[in-house]
Amino acid sequence: MAGLIANTDLLQQILTGFVRDEVRKVGVKKVVLGLSGGIDSALVAFIAAQALGAENVHAICMPYKSSNPESEAHARLVAQACGINFTVVPITPMVDAYFEMFPQADNMRRGNKMARERMTILFDHSALYSALVLGTSNKTELLLGYGTLFGDMASALNPIGDLYKSHVWQLSEAMGVPSEVIEKKPSADLWAGQTDEEELGFSYRQVDELLYQMVDLRLTRDELIAAGFAPEFIDSIYQKVQNSHFKRRMPVIAKVSNRTIDRDFRYSRDWGK
Amino acid sequence: MDFTAILAQIKPKLGCVADNLALIEEHIQQAISAKADLIVFPELALTGYFLKDLVPEVARRLDSPEISRLVELSRNISIAVGIVEETDDYRFFNSALYLEDGAIRHLHRKVYLPTYGLFDEQRYLARGERFRAFDTRFGRMALLICEDMWHLSSSYILAMDGATTLLCLSSSPGRGVEGDSLGSAAAWQQLTSTTALFLNCRVLYCNRVGYEDGVNFWGGSEYVAPSGESIVRARLFDEDALAASVAEGALRRERIFSPMLRDENLFVTMQELRRIERERGQ
């Protein structure tokens, strides 16, 4: 699919320019990001290092005791490859202390708690370093809602939120992300052996094709079926996009005045910048 | 006559009129030092683009101190610049001014306010209602603001009104990363080239750079000769001040080689447009 093949030189130029411009106009020089050992955060680290200089990028690896040790090793490898600052802050003590009160909690609650624990650490370091938090969610997971609201979806700036996973692979290769990180199976690493594609029930390549044609090209359901997508697949993905839309919006405010925030009180975030 | 134009590919700050005026003045002073004749700024150079509810705050009357300052500077160099204009009856226009010899030579109010995709101009701004060519020290010119140029009739009317130089002030967001070059840049380059070629006009296109809320503006300002050939083009994405040496001879020669505009039949065009208008009204 031609649309999922990106001009990586152009992407790199736009995304490094984005980080440089949007960070500096706020009056800061630095960024902080969570480095998981996966490809998305690795790519953001490379983009940030190129945009701001490696010395201005702080990566934090935040493993839980059940995290695959390979993840931390890969995070370290990425940090070394692009020369950025690297710290490890384990989240096991905080997360375990909490779930001692709720021992029955299921995997989803535990996963969400971990994602939100990491978010608080990133925003705390944002204050420590006078740095903006970079987001690392790609367009595929944002559209599917495959992320934790106010957890890994929280950030000040997200350079890769308009890139499908297929684009992330291409750009990572072009920018020199270590091949171990590019080639391994994507995983949220919430429990041993977890992989995204197994949990989602389809491959990123399949869903990227569908999302691109459905969202970007606005093909109708009939056109998608004619293009060879199974009706059940189309419907289930459409449902996922619809049901997760709340995660992509600001909290809903009950309107009572003439100027309600975001409804008829409208300003760009870069107001005055 | 031959003249030198500077296309000031600047990065305005969103909603910061004083800062942008200082930036514009700095470019004007540099252009004066470089002995340029004309300097062209992008659409909404004085205010930034995604203004939304800021429109009434950054709008300026034509007799405001900021506009008066620019008019004053035009004693030394001709200036085309984009502003938000406030009128006596409190309408707000996305306007472009052509300033020369210490006077406002022409005011154009953007006619086509895009309100689709990422655009929302007509929610906040009033629509202009005329396209007029005007005389300058460098021949007859016309002003277009970004989306205006995507309507064939705009440039056609202006060429029929005698404009030989089309100044297009733009804030074009970059999008489309599938091809060899940026999608919106490729589309614009085709448009400016084709417009110049069809109408045997020069096009001076000035587009801004920078980012607003994650949207990039791609720059790529250019001077396109009446043959449709891009003579000079600024860098993509970076601030620039591109000098274009505009030669009168190239215009004269093109109009001798390809006298399509001379042969354009205004009578037939008007007759058919009036018929269509009549039929649509029935």
Which domains does chain A carry?
A: 2-196 (3.40.50.620)
The SS3 assignment for A222 reads: helix
B211 touches chain A (CB under 8 A): yes
Residue A236: which region, alpha, beta or left (left: phi > 0; alpha: psi -120 to 50)? alpha
User: Residue B193 has which token pair?
Assistant: 């080239």
Q: What are the residue boundaries of the structural domains of chain B, listed by start?
A: 3-281
Contact between residue B146 and residue B187 where contact means Cβ atoms under 8 Å apart: no
Question: Which residue among B14, B179, B211 sits closest to A17, beta carbon to beta carbon?
Answer: B211
Sheet holding A85-88, edge to edge: A85-88, A57-61, A30-34, A131-133
Q: Are strands A30-34 and A57-61 parallel, antiparallel or unpaired?
A: parallel
**Which residue of chain A comes nearest to B218, CA vs CA?**
A14
In the structure, what pLDDT confidence band is assigned to residue A2 with cuts at 50, 70 and 90? low
The SS3 assignment for A261 reads: strand
Measured between beta carbons, the chain B residues lying within 8 angstroms of A265 are 53
> How far is residue B97's CA from residue B90's CA, in Å, rounded to a whole number?
19
pLDDT digits (tens, 9 = 90+) for A42-62: 999 999 999 999 999 999 999
pLDDT digits (tens, 9 = 90+) for B195-231: 999 999 999 999 999 999 999 999 999 999 999 999 9
pLDDT digits (tens, 9 = 90+) for A137-171: 999 999 999 999 999 999 999 999 999 999 999 99
Closest Cα in chain A, distance from residue B85 (Å): 19
Cβ separation A267–B16 shorter than 8 A? no
Contact between residue A32 and residue A132 where contact means Cβ atoms under 8 Å apart: yes
In degrees, rounded to 5, the angle at the alpha carbon of residue A236 between the alpha carbons of residues A144 and A245 is 35
Beta bridge partners of B107: B97
Give the 3-state secondary structure of B196-242.
HHHHCCEEEEEECEEEECCEEEEECCEEECCCCCEEEECCECCCEEE
Measured between beta carbons, the chain A residues lying within 8 angstroms of B177 are 6-7, 10-11, 14
User: Residue A73 has which token pair?
Assistant: 């090793």
User: Residue B106 has which token pair?
Assistant: 């022409």
The candidate with the shortest Cα–Cα distance to A61, out of A52, A53, A70, is A70
**Whole-number pLDDT of residue B104:** 98
Question: Which residue among A7, A17, A272 sits closest to B15, beta carbon to beta carbon?
Answer: A272
Global pTM reads 0.95
What residue type is assigned to position A52 of the chain? Answer: L
* Average pLDDT of chain B to the nearest whole number: 97
> How far is residue B92's CA from residue B111's CA, in Å, rounded to a whole number?
12
pLDDT digits (tens, 9 = 90+) for A68-85: 999 999 999 999 999 999
Cβ separation B237–A22 shorter than 8 A? no
Q: How far is CA B37 from CA A29, B33, B166, in A?
A: 39, 11, 16
Average pLDDT over residues A15-36: 97
Residues 6+ apart with CB under 8 A from A100: none
- DSSP calls for B124-177: HSBPP-----EEETTEEEEEEEGGGGGSHHHHHHHHHTT-SEEEEEE-PBP---
Question: Which residue among A7, A21, A265 sits closest to B210, beta carbon to beta carbon?
Answer: A21
> How far is residue A10's CA from residue A17's CA, in Å, rounded to a whole number?
11
Cβ separation A18–B211 shorter than 8 A? yes
Cβ separation A272–B14 shorter than 8 A? yes
What is the assigned CATH class of domain B3-281? alpha beta
**Whole-number pLDDT of residue A189:** 85
Q: How many CA atoms lie within 13 A of A249 on its CB side?
A: 12
Judge whether residue B282 has pLDDT over 80: no
Contact between residue B225 and residue B194 where contact means Cβ atoms under 8 Å apart: no
> How far is residue B17's CA from residue A112's CA, in Å, rounded to a whole number?
44
Interface test with A, best of B177, B180, B209, B215 (most A CBs within 10 A): B177
What residue type is assigned to position B222 of the chain? Answer: E
